[in-house]
Amino acid sequence: MAKAAAVGEKHLILGFKGVGFEIVAVEEADRLPQALALLAADTEIGLVLVTESLAEKAPHALDEFREKSPAILTVIPTHEESRHTSFTQMRKTVEHSMGLDLLGKEEFSQTERGSEE
């Protein structure tokens, strides 16, 4: 059975340990590439969740992981200020795999504008 890992600030990902995730605490974005490289080398990893706050500071680390590993990597929103990075990353993943923007760029733009008013 494939393993799953949650990567991010410890206080944001600790809850995933209770449902069987490996926890990889990363407090600073400059440490994210190294943490993801270790996970990419683990052939048993099938799913990696990265907190939105880290992902938006080191998007290159996500791209490198996706090039090196067949595991699914997705960005998860947190209760802290969201900039919709998780939605944007999910839309890119779906568009890349399906060849079509199912989640709609225009719909997201309207939703984003509506929440600012």
Q: Which domains does the chain possess? A: 3-116 (3.40.50.10580)
Average pLDDT over residues 22-48: 97
Residue of higher predicted confidence among 81 and 47:
47
| pLDDT (mean) for 100-112 | 54
Residues of the chain with pLDDT > 90, as a percent, come to 57
Contacts of 12 (CB under 8 A, 6+ apart): 51, 53, 78, 80
Residue type, 85: T
pLDDT at 110: 45
What confidence score (pLDDT) does residue 1 get?
76
Average pLDDT for 73-94: 70
Instruction: Give this prediction's pTM.
Output: 0.73
Helix %, strand %, coil % of the chain (to 5): 55, 20, 25
55: nearest Cα among 80, 37, 77, 24: 77
Among 48, 55, 2, 41, which Cα is nearest to 23's?
A: 48
Helices 105-116, 85-98: crossing angle, 10 deg rounding? 170
Mean pLDDT of the residues in the chain? 82
